[in-house]
């Protein structure tokens, strides 16, 4: 599927009155003036002009489903670790690109990279969204090249190609089998049509036997080669004393091929070689589509996880620092955590004072001050100043491991889910085999055993679950593709089926319904000049509230002589006296002047002026309200479970109109609440992103995580979505509903066709041409029906 060419901006405008679109990313902007929506886009535009690649703007077309080509705010980590050095002085790296829209993006990225003198190969694959790079020099060059890609407006994520090679080899093997089966089916059918047309007629028995022998010559090796995936799976299933869809397929294929060979040898009238070859062909189409979509989605989800596990910086005894994987840390090691980095391990602070953001651990939206001796947990974000952390525990004894244990416990408790197709196959296979046996026994009483066997095999061929084998994968592949293009990754094969069944949606607050970062409220008395002054101090801090101030006043310059006091605030010494920006206590404001929500605020105290208050809110995701009302319209019950403070949760719940909410919930309690809801007969969809949501995500019937969530959640969740928009939740539910209906329709078609054809087969009336027509007819019906899902609703 190629990108749909639209000249309109890719996202629906948030405000109804749009005056301009950003010249780089095309995002609608409500305000007049300025050509760009952000400084990143302005930079990207200048960079592209500097390279002389402006043609990109004329040639591109937006894909409404893809991320805007806006440079990421925070550059991704160290790409050099993932680059592989070849022996000959070159190195290579595969990057996964986010934000590709069309061939113009491919051209832009390739051209920009080829301007770099070191680069020898830069090749973008638009289908898999991967960029392969080879360059002359050290692996370190990777970081520079990745930066180039990011400056153009794309997000690049290093990708371990070796991890994926196994599944792509399997995919190619399937495609080869598909080609061979297709060749055999087409050629044998050609000969068979000649037989059906010419015999009994002008064609003599000798010619017919010759054509049968040629058919056997083509079909038998092809069946032996192309049937291997089914035979292998059937043998594995039988070995485990189970039966699956591949058992009746393999039995039908082998018996029909053997019987046809026998008939050919005794120069009988009927051979089913073309039916067998076609059957394999159609089944392989289904199998290949299934594998392809699943492999692509899985590898995309996997590498997102791999990258989230960033390396840690270890300080060695001699003072040197070294980047190592987190897994190789030992208790007692000292780890350096720069401001803005996530703390990789559980431990205690040995040096430095800073604040840490624990929102991923417990949903708290405010940072906490830490000082030497404070305990910190893996997953916390260090926001203010560099810290040295002594590793206290690794492996089993960390908080993280505890949460993982909790998750494993609930996962064991969850009944193993069986895919719908397998459930159908489990009942279907024995029924089919019994039916064939009954046909054989019945006809054996009435006449010679050869005729009885032939009729029994006709039953097996007719009932071979060809349409059934296509019914689920085709619908799923199309749904997967559609979601993949919208930045939604389905990690579990049965997720769509389960999503279709849910009736309660449980949300986490921080980072899920909200953006997980505070924004300044633009109300009250703060004058622009005051705001600028506060921002000029705040520019020295990475505290979330300071950064929100800077975002609110981007034109402010950083002031000189500012000192940060972690956990308290900032101070600037001026001739008139000290200016302070920070908490209520830091600025010496008495508690009595409380006005409303006491937590998300900053005070600015200046000598000779009344202290000024800035209020912040953890902003809701742009379409949270719309998503909630749409979910309500779908008739879902909504619940909000958060580990955050009572007031914050209450405000969000009231704003969104969610009636059921609970604040200050621990991970275990979340799990418990979910179990309670489930025991009432409801199927629960959990949407969450924090470490505290991990067990709940695993315990829910089905779960969704944003890609900003920690790796643990992305592992536990069935669905991972990218981007700031919560629309993904309703989109997933909608696609799941439609694909569920399609799968049921498809299975209905397949069963209907069997009901019509099986009596004919039992009665001995099915001839090879009838079998072939019925089989392809049902398969094509199923595929065409599924294709309807691909159309944009």
Among the listed residues 187, 350, 374, 767, the single contact to other proteins using CB under 8 A: 187
Whose tokens are 């990313």? That residue is 25
* Distance separating the N- and C-terminal Cα atoms of the chain: 16
Please, are residues 790 and 481 in contact by the beta-carbon 8 Å criterion?
yes
Q: What is the DSSP letter of 150?
A: H
Among the listed residues 48, 106, 278, 579, the single contact to other proteins using CB under 8 A: 106
CA atoms of 211 and 214, how far apart (whole Å): 5
**Closer to other proteins at the Cβ: 187 or 334?**
187
Question: Is residue 1 involved in binding other proteins (CB under 8 A)?
Answer: yes
Question: Is residue 477 involved in binding other proteins (CB under 8 A)?
Answer: no
* The one catalytic residue among 98, 290, 362, 508: 508
Strand, helix or coil at 65? coil
Tell the smallest beta-carbon distance from residue 2 to other proteins (Å): 6
Residues whose CB is less than 8 angstroms from the CB of residue 32 and which lie 6 or more positions away in sequence, other chains included: 19, 20
**Which tokens belong to 194?**
């000649």
Contact track, other proteins, 195-234, x by CB under 8 A: --------xx--x--xx--x---x----------------
**Closer to other proteins at the Cβ: 190 or 437?**
190
Tell the smallest beta-carbon distance from residue 594 to other proteins (Å): 58
Tell the smallest beta-carbon distance from residue 191 to other proteins (Å): 8
Among the listed residues 49, 163, 172, 741, the single contact to other proteins using CB under 8 A: 172
Among the listed residues 44, 66, 180, 360, the single contact to other proteins using CB under 8 A: 180
Please, are residues 386 and 736 in contact by the beta-carbon 8 Å criterion?
no
Question: Is residue 96 involved in binding other proteins (CB under 8 A)?
Answer: no
**Closer to other proteins at the Cβ: 129 or 353?**
129
Question: Is residue 393 involved in binding other proteins (CB under 8 A)?
Answer: no
Piece in contact with other proteins (CB under 8 A), picked from 176-184, 369-377, 523-531, 570-578? 176-184
Phi, psi dihedral angles at 559 (to 5 degrees): -75, 160
**Closer to other proteins at the Cβ: 399 or 484?**
484
The CB density around residue 293, as the number of other CB atoms within 10 Å, is 22
Among the listed residues 18, 51, 161, 175, the single contact to other proteins using CB under 8 A: 175
**Closer to other proteins at the Cβ: 222 or 699?**
222
Piece in contact with other proteins (CB under 8 A), picked from 106-114, 408-416, 649-657, 716-724? 106-114
Tell the smallest beta-carbon distance from residue 59 to other proteins (Å): 6
Tell the smallest beta-carbon distance from residue 214 to other proteins (Å): 6
Edge-to-edge strand ranges of the sheet holding 637-641: 488-490, 719-721, 702-706, 684-687, 504-507, 637-641, 660-662
**Which tokens belong to 635?**
């008739």
**Closer to other proteins at the Cβ: 42 or 161?**
161
Tell the smallest beta-carbon distance from residue 284 to other proteins (Å): 14
Piece in contact with other proteins (CB under 8 A), picked from 179-187, 435-443, 502-510, 614-622? 179-187
Among the listed residues 2, 525, 593, 679, the single contact to other proteins using CB under 8 A: 2
CA atoms of 469 and 62, how far apart (whole Å): 36
Please, are residues 636 and 502 in contact by the beta-carbon 8 Å criterion?
yes
Question: Is residue 114 involved in binding other proteins (CB under 8 A)?
Answer: yes
**Which tokens belong to 60?**
């591109």
**Which tokens belong to 440?**
């054989």
# chain residues binding other proteins, by CB under 8 A: 34
Question: Is residue 176 involved in binding other proteins (CB under 8 A)?
Answer: yes
**Closer to other proteins at the Cβ: 3 or 429?**
3
Residue 613, beta-bridge partner list: 603
Identify which of 633, 631, 640 has the alpha carbon closest to the alpha carbon of residue 659. Answer: 640
Among the listed residues 46, 190, 418, 724, the single contact to other proteins using CB under 8 A: 190
Residues whose CB is less than 8 angstroms from the CB of residue 706 and which lie 6 or more positions away in sequence, other chains included: 511, 512, 689, 720, 721, 722, 728
Does 508 qualify as catalytic in the annotation? yes
Written as one string, the DSSP assignment of 100-155 is --SHHHHHHHHHHHHTSTTEEEEEEETTTTEEEEEEES-TTHHHHHHHHHHHTT-E
Piece in contact with other proteins (CB under 8 A), picked from 170-178, 426-434, 615-623, 736-744? 170-178
**Closer to other proteins at the Cβ: 59 or 413?**
59
Question: Is residue 118 involved in binding other proteins (CB under 8 A)?
Answer: no
CA atoms of 352 and 346, how far apart (whole Å): 16
Tell the smallest beta-carbon distance from residue 107 to other proteins (Å): 4
CA atoms of 682 and 371, how far apart (whole Å): 46
Please, are residues 647 and 677 in contact by the beta-carbon 8 Å criterion?
no
Identify which of 182, 173, 186, 176 has the alpha carbon closest to the alpha carbon of residue 280. Answer: 182
Among the listed residues 8, 46, 85, 179, the single contact to other proteins using CB under 8 A: 179
Please, are residues 504 and 681 in contact by the beta-carbon 8 Å criterion?
no
Piece in contact with other proteins (CB under 8 A), picked from 88-96, 177-185, 391-399, 601-609? 177-185
Site for other proteins, residues 33 to 92, rule: CB under 8 A:
55, 59
Question: Is residue 103 involved in binding other proteins (CB under 8 A)?
Answer: yes
Written as one string, the DSSP assignment of 27-53 is -EESSSS-S-SSHHHHHHHHHHHHHT-
Give the chain's length.
793
**Closer to other proteins at the Cβ: 126 or 331?**
126
Site for other proteins, residues 122 to 141, rule: CB under 8 A:
124-128
CA atoms of 539 and 549, how far apart (whole Å): 8
Please, are residues 284 and 276 in contact by the beta-carbon 8 Å criterion?
no
**Closer to other proteins at the Cβ: 104 or 403?**
104
CA atoms of 546 and 616, how far apart (whole Å): 10
Piece in contact with other proteins (CB under 8 A), picked from 39-47, 147-155, 175-183, 525-533? 175-183
**Closer to other proteins at the Cβ: 460 or 474?**
474
Helix boundaries (H) for 394-500:
399-413, 420-446, 449-463, 466-485, 495-499
Question: What region does 635 belong to: left with phi over 0, alpha with psi -120 to 50, or beta?
Answer: left
Please, are residues 12 and 623 in contact by the beta-carbon 8 Å criterion?
no
Residues near other proteins (CB under 8 A) are 1-3, 55, 59, 102-104, 106-107, 111, 114, 124-128, 172, 175-176, 179-180, 183, 186-187, 190-191, 203-204, 207, 210-211, 214, 218
List active site positions: 508
């Amino acid at each position: 599927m190629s990108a749909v060419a639209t000249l309109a901006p890719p996202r629906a405008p948030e405000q109804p009155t749009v005056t301009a679109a950003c010249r780089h990313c095309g995002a609608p902007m409500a305000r007049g003036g300025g050509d760009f929506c952000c400084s990143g886009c302005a930079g990207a535009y200048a960079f592209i002009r500097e390279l002389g690649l402006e043609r990109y703007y004329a040639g591109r077309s937006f894909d409404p489903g893809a991320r805007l080509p806006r440079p990421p705010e925070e550059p991704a980590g160290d790409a050099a670790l993932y680059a592989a050095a070849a022996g000959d002085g070159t190195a290579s790296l595969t990057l996964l690109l986010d934000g590709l829209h069309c061939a113009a993006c491919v051209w832009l990225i390739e051209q920009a990279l080829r301007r770099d003198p070191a680069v020898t190969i830069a090749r973008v694959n638009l289908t898999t969204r991967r960029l392969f790079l080879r360059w002359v020099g050290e692996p370190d060059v990777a970081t520079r090249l990745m930066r180039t890609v990011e400056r153009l407006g794309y997000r690049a994520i290093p990708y371990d190609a070796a991890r994926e090679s196994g599944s792509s080899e399997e995919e190619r093997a399937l495609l080869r089998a598909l080609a061979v089966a297709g060749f055999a089916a087409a050629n044998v059918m050609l000969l068979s049509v000649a037989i059906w047309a010419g015999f009994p007629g002008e064609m003599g028995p000798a010619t017919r036997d010759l054509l049968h022998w040629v058919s056997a010559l083509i079909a038998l090796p092809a069946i032996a080669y192309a049937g291997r995936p089914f035979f292998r799976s059937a043998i594995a299933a039988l070995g485990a004393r189970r039966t699956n869809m591949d058992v009746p397929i393999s039995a039908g294929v082998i018996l029909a091929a053997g019987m046809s060979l026998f008939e050919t040898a005794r120069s009988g009238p009927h051979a089913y070689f073309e039916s067998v070859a076609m059957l394999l062909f159609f089944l392989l189409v289904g199998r290949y589509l299934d594998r392809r979509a699943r492999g692509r989605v899985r590898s995309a989800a996997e590498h997102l996880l791999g990258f989230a596990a960033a390396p840690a910086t270890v300080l060695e005894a001699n003072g040197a620092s070294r980047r190592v994987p987190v897994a190789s840390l030992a208790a007692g090691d000292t780890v350096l955590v720069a401001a803005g980095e996530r703390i990789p391990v559980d431990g205690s602070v040995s040096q430095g004072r800073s604040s840490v953001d624990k929102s991923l651990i417990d949903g708290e939206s405010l940072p906490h001050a830490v000082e030497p001796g404070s305990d910190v947990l893996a997953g916390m974000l260090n926001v203010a100043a560099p810290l040295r952390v002594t590793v206290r525990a690794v492996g089993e004894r960390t908080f993280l491991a505890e949460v993982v244990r909790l998750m494993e416990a609930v996962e064991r408790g969850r009944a193993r889910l069986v895919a719908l197709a397998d459930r159908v196959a489990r009942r279907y296979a024995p029924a089919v085999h019994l039916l064939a046996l009954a046909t054989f026994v019945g006809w054996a009483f009435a006449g010679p055993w050869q005729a009885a066997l032939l009729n029994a095999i006709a039953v097996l061929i007719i009932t071979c679950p060809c349409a059934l084998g296509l019914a689920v994968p085709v619908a799923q592949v199309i749904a997967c593709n559609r979601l993949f293009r919208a930045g939604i990754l389905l990690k579990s094969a049965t997720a769509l089926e389960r999503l279709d069944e849910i009736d309660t949606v449980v949300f986490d607050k921080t980072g899920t319904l909200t953006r997980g970062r505070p924004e300044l409220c633009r109300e009250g008395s703060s004058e622009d000049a005051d705001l600028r002054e506060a921002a000029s101090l705040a520019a020295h801090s990475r505290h979330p509230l300071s950064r929100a101030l800077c975002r609110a006043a981007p034109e402010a310059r950083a002031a000189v002589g500012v000192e940060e006091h972690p956990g308290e605030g900032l101070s600037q010494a001026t001739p008139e006296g000290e200016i302070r920006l920070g908490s209520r206590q830091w600025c010496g404001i008495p508690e009595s002047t409380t006005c409303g929500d006491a937590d998300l605020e900053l005070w600015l105290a200046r000598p000779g002026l009344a202290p000024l208050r800035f209020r912040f809110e953890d902003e809701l995701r742009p379409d949270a309200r719309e998503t909630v009302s749409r979910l309500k319209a779908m008739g879902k019950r909504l619940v909000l479970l958060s580990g955050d403070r009572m007031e914050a949760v209450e405000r969000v719940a009231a704003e969104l109109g969610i009636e059921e909410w609970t604040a200050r919930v621990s991970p275990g309690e979340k799990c418990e609440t979910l179990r309670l809801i489930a025991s009432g007969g409801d199927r629960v969809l959990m949407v969450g992103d924090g470490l505290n949501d991990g067990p709940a995500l695993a315990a829910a019937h089905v779960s969704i995580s944003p890609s900003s969530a920690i790796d643990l959640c992305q592992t536990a969740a069935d669905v991972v979505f990218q981007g700031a928009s919560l629309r993904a939740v309703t989109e997933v539910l909608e696609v799941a509903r439609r694909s569920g209906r399609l799968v049921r329709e498809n299975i209905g078609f397949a069963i209907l066709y069997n009901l019509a054809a099986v009596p004919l087969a039992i009665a001995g009336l099915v001839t090879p041409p009838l079998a072939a027509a019925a089989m392809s007819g049902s398969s094509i019906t199923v595929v065409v029906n599924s294709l309807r899902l691909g159309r944009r609703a």
